[in-house]
Structures are given as C-alpha cells and as structure tokens.
Amino acid sequence: MAETATSSRVPLVHYLVLDDGDPHLVASECTNCGARFFDRRNACASCFGTDFRHVKIATEGELRTFTIVAFAAPGVDVPFVSGVIDCGGTSVRGNLRNVEPDADHVHTGMKVRLTTYSLGTDDHGTEAVGFAFEPA
C-alpha cells in the first residue's frame, strides 16, 4: 500500500501559526495595558479591559526557569525539560527539545528558539504539529 501524502497541517494549539512558512506564536494583547495572554479572554486579568489585538511573539528567547520532569502520563517519554521562556518580554511555557534533560546541559539564561515538530499523521493525511524550544 502506498503512503498517504500529508494533505494538511494543523497546530496542536490555536496560538501556533504554521501557514505562512514562518512558524510563530500569537498572543492576545490588551489594547489598554499591553498584558498578553495565550488563552481566550473576555477581559484582561490585569486591567479588566475588553479589547484585544493579536500580536506575533518573538521566536527566540531566554530560559527563565525550568524543571526536569521525571514522571508523566503513560506513553510520555521521560525525562524531559519543561520551562518558562522570556520571548521578547512575553512569558511562554513550553518544553525543551534537542537537549539532554540534565543540569549539565540546561540552565537558566540559556538562549533558545521556537521549533515545531510532528505529533503524527492521521489516516486522511492531516499532520498534527506541536511546538517546543531548542538551544539557539
């Protein structure tokens, strides 16, 4: 049986943009105070404003804090690194890939960049795509 070609790609989260050849994250920014959020908001948690605009988030940043995860749900490979990355002033929670998950290779202040990866392809050729960060 011939392999099915990928006919489309869908992001795992709505704030991951794939369709312009330049993968990036977008946040909702409060037009009143500038606070940024990745989830849907009816009002700003900072100033209670109700107007938002979508803004592109920097694809490079600095690891502010992290943990090495040793226990996870069945089927999730451990250990892995989960962290908070400062992307040009916006905090992004994400995992680190393409780095050994230990304190000899991961440290606060390390420069990282956004990367995407395939989570799998369904029987219709639709590929699910996730994001993470990797050393810059």
Question: pLDDT confidence of 21, banded at 50, 70, 90?
Answer: confident
Please, are residues 47 and 30 in contact by the beta-carbon 8 Å criterion? yes
93, part of any domain: yes
Average pLDDT of the segment spanning 58-79 = 96
User: What's the pTM?
Assistant: 0.89
The strand pairing partners of 62, in sequence order, are 86, 111
Please, are residues 25 and 16 in contact by the beta-carbon 8 Å criterion? yes
Residues 66, 70, 71, 77, CA torsion sign: positive
Instruction: Look at the block and give the residue holding tokens 């099915």.
Output: 4
Supply the range of the domain harboring residue 70.
8-135
- The C-alpha atoms of residue 112 and residue 96 are separated, in whole angstroms, by 9
Question: pLDDT confidence of 19, banded at 50, 70, 90?
Answer: confident
Residues 61, 63, 67, 70, CA torsion sign: positive
1, part of any domain: no
The number of distinct structural domains making up the chain is: 1
Q: How many CB atoms lie within 10 A of CB 55?
A: 13
Average pLDDT of the segment spanning 110-134 = 97
2, part of any domain: no
The radius of gyration of the chain's CA atoms, rounded to the nearest angstrom, is: 17
3, part of any domain: no
Evaluate if residue 119 carries a pLDDT over 60: yes
What pLDDT does residue 5 have? 52
